[in-house]
Structure 1
Amino acid sequence: MSKITNPSILAFERKIDPSYGLFSAGVWAEREKSFGWPAVEVKEKSVRGTFSNRVSSKEADPLKLKQKIDKPNPQTVDYAALPADADTLATTFTVRILPGAGLPSSCNEQAYYQKLVAAVGDYKATYGFKEIARRYAANLANGRFLWRNRMGSEQIEIKVDQLVNGKPAQGWTFDGYEHEPGTFPTGGKVAELGELIAAGLTGEQHVLLQVTAYVQMGYGQEVYPSQEMVLERSSGDKSKTLFAVEHRGRKVAAFHPQKIGNAIRTIDDWHASADEVGAIPVEVYGAVTSYGAAYRPPKEKQDFYSLIDNWMLKDVEPTAEQKHYIFAVLIRGGVFGGGD
């Protein structure tokens, strides 16, 4: 048998595909009627800030520094808030669970492809993607995808419905505070939802989920959609730009699909620093940009490339946890070939 080599072209399509998360507002007691709630709009405001930048020793001239401190710092920023007569934020999005988990969409090395397909078949027969899917379900149930909006809220309720022909076929309702993010319960409604997600990943059935989260925050409270990363700003530009979806002439506050997807795939507590930092998003090097750290650096040989190369090229069988991590990366999707 010829030696197996890394393909120069190796790509995987993502299998967890969320939509935008649209914001609307209403009253907690009327959340069953949230379909008609008004959208939360992104608006602009001008604020008079103060100078607060860190200064270097070269800039610490007392006279110049005093002039900077005394001078006001006007800014224009985006903001989004609940209306004065609404105390609850509703965030709604859909998630498609696509079949073919673990199988490449492109691979130009036939021997590698055949070995990978065999590994996918063995994993599917042994684990059925249930461990990974249960963790996705937990992150839907605990409202991790709400990010900052989750913090300090009085009550959180998450409704997850399976849509068939556009109508709910079955559904689950979760208390967002019943389980903390980073914990993955093994039974109850979370396990039921996980079974459905696993069935979608294996292709046993079509799975489309609609998720609506209700967060009781307080009348008129500010809410936090995704923030746009503006690479180039000119003088006078807004200093904060929030993400909004144009709908019927209004700028509706929303989450990016990537932000929702990042929260759903925050399931990797199989890394070496899990006792310290808990679950992190599934990434090839365990990178968490908000911490400025990579928890699966190549030198430790626990990154995705090291593990899959050992498995495919050197016949080093991964542990069960390593397999869960590898397949979670493949479900995330990406281009992993050896070409430049």
Structure 2
Amino acid sequence: MGSHRRTAHSRLPGLDRNTRATVLTVAVASAAAALAAVPADAAPKDTPADTKAEVDRLYEQAEQATEAFNKADERADKLRTELRTTQDEVARGQERINAMRRALGLLAGAQYRSGGIDPSLALMLSSDPDSYLDKAGTLDRISARHAGELTELRAAQRDLAQERAGARRKLAELDAVRKAVARHKRGVETKLARARQLLNSLPDADRAAYERSSRGGERPDLSGAGPASSGRAATALAAAQSALGKPYVWGANGPSAFDCSGLMQWSYARAGVALPRTSQAQRYAGRQVPLSQARPGDLVAYGADAHHIGIYAGNGQVIHAPYPGAPVRYDPVGMMPVSSVTRV
């Protein structure tokens, strides 16, 4: 079941994350509508049951692609922050070197006016001190008076070269991650568009029945569900309950729309807990316990790759954001194979 996560935002200017996610979801819907406009003789020949199973499979694949998108997008955010820091360090390092060279230039000018330049100053003012030293062949020519300044300048220049190399590496990685984000975005959109195309190929009655089933039922009986595992787990569960009925938007993490891991991240943030962005990382955000010992507020991950996740509500129920068209809702904890239960 399910698909989730963030709209590949390519950083639309002036829009926050949820707005970007909603805008791109509308784009996906438009693409789906276009794909749905196929000739009648091109409709799938499968039975309605086959079509529904294929739609479910496509939603699961879209969720896997969404998780990959979220992971790449999270890495891109981190790289942008690191790159800004590195660029600031490069600028500060260059200014430090410039200041040192200006001071040495003043000293060299004074020496020139008094009859010549100390070889150590010529070395320090060289654009390539190491090359100068290679030519000189020895440090013996450098006066003790300026040895400390030379050592400091050379160290600063080496540091600056390392910082610039680090910035180049981060730029290259950021470019690669941006391409991965775009690739995963296309994957999600393709799967969702195909799922919508298949749904539109169903007879009206079958399509209506599928969409009714995707809405979930009423609030289940949670009496006797037992206490949450902690105060923060209780707060997170209450936040998830407040999101019931909110739409699924891949890449969204609240407060007006969610994908599956976005709902978990938002719910636990209300309890002051910073969860990672992806369901794969969230499954390791605490202590894992057996399903038989699950308590309200625990995270329940699905699939061997943990591509889907929900929050345990008690009495065999979870709250989750299932897939596009299905709002945040309750479902049985065994709706898919459970891969882990995590107590945060």
Return the structure number with greater helix share.
Answer: 2
The structure number with the bigger radius of gyration is: 2
Shared fold (TM-score, shorter chain, > 0.5): no
Q: TM-score range by the shorter chain?
A: under 0.3
Return the structure number with greater strand share.
Answer: 1
| TM-score, normalised by the number of residues in structure 2 | 0.22
